[in-house]
Structure 1
């Protein structure tokens, strides 16, 4: 399912890495694993995860330095980073957060608490994937029930159009390129021609205007599509 949240785990201890991956996959997340900081940077560029769980103590380049390098990248600025560390001093927590981490969890940690923190970060950046109802300009999308209403009227959307609308509604006003929509809606491992995006945007537009109203999807020539 292409709209599952994608989490990159960066942890050099195999047992910790396996526990994290098992619990995230059990929650329905797509998981990629890295053992070192350099591997993490490569995997980030290849997969563009929605969230990074990053251990401070890594062989070679430290997690702090990896976090710093990630946050310098335009593609990673909005990607939440949860730092894991055995360092419990307030100064260490402050350093981690000032480096760009969005949350800081000390070891040993409760897996249940970490899962809650992962969901909290995703509610901020990808609310539709964690069951949060999306509401914008009279359009209401409920990910739990897979229902969409516009001005109180229920709309009929196919599964691809539903995922497409979820992506657009999570960041109203943001312009998404066709390639970005292909990755988010169809998945990174599936080859689909970029013109397929245009076809499904057309179907989504038709569905959204089934009961009248203006076209809420904006075409940005040479760039892509945006909601509103």
Structure 2
């Protein structure tokens, strides 16, 4: 007898980039008592009834040993140079092979450490209340990730071009998007200066 196991949301942390502007793997930068990628995974693990996927690519051999003990599914994007769209497609393909059935995917980035479990949970609550809508983060001038994209858009995610991320789907279907404000926390860590500034403001010595 076959049956479907219903799982609500698959959380994917995109961490496959080369950190070219940083000059070193940003995934492994210190954040509190862990690293940026460790912090992102820990925040995801605080969410209830959510399975966590992490996409690695560049610097895989350095990063994988630091995260392999977490109860997560790690995907290796061999084509990480092609861009974020290739990582998202890899995840959707993995979800389609999973025994669980997902109603939505929560996409987040490894370099937004202030968008923590509390923010992600607010997205989930909003998604539960509006199950047919995309729930995205209002980053002031930009509406983007973290975002929850429902199953009805999985086919479009599979068709993303390499240099297009989830923001392309959000913009395309903006009339079906609800937003949650990042409340001044939507900072990306792309350069050493940005990292140092954010680190000092959150972990003053």
Q: Taking structure 1 as the reference length, what is the TM-score of the superposition?
A: 0.29
Structure with the largest fraction of strand: 2
Structure with the largest fraction of helix: 1
RCO higher in structure (CA 8 A, sep ≥6): 2
Larger-gyration structure (1/2): 1
